[in-house]
Amino acid sequence: MHPVLMYHAIGSGPEIAGADPHYAVAEAAFAAQIAVLGTSVALARQVGDGAGIQAPCITFDDGHVSNYRIALPILLAAGLGAEFYVNSATVGRRGQVSWSELREMAAHGMSVQSHAHHHVLLSDLAAHELRAELEVSKKTIEDRLGQPVVVLAPPGGRYNRLTVAIAEELGYRRLAVSRPGLWQRFDAPTVPRFPIYASTSTATVQRYRRRWSRDTLRARLRYQLTQLGQQALGNRRYERLRNAVFASTP
Q: Is 63 in the site for Zn ion (CB under 5 A)?
A: no
Name the segment binding Zn ion (CB under 5 A); options: 59-67, 71-79, 191-199, 238-246: 59-67
Distance CA 170, CA 143 (A): 15
Name the segment binding Zn ion (CB under 5 A); options: 18-26, 56-64, 94-102, 225-233: 56-64
Q: Tell me which residues in 122-151 interact with Zn ion (CB under 5 A).
A: none
From the CA atom positions of the chain, what is the Rg in Å?
17
CB of 97 to Zn ion, least distance (A): 14
Distance CA 98, CA 92 (A): 4
1 contacts: CB under 8 Å, gap ≥ 6:
53, 182, 183, 184, 211
Selected from 3, 11, 56, 155, the binder of Zn ion by CB under 5 A is 155
Name the segment binding Zn ion (CB under 5 A); options: 138-146, 153-161, 203-211, 238-246: 153-161
Q: At what angle do helices 99-107 and 127-145 cross, to 10 degrees?
A: 60
Side by side, the strands of the sheet bearing 174-176 are 190-191, 174-176, 151-152, 111-114, 83-86, 57-61, 4-7, 194-195
Q: Is 62 in the site for Zn ion (CB under 5 A)?
A: yes
* Shorter beta-carbon distance to Zn ion: residue 119 or 173: 119
Per-position x/- string for 64-103, each x denoting binding to Zn ion as judged by CB under 5 A, each - no binding: ----------------------------------------
Interface residues toward Zn ion, by CB under 5 A:
61-62, 155
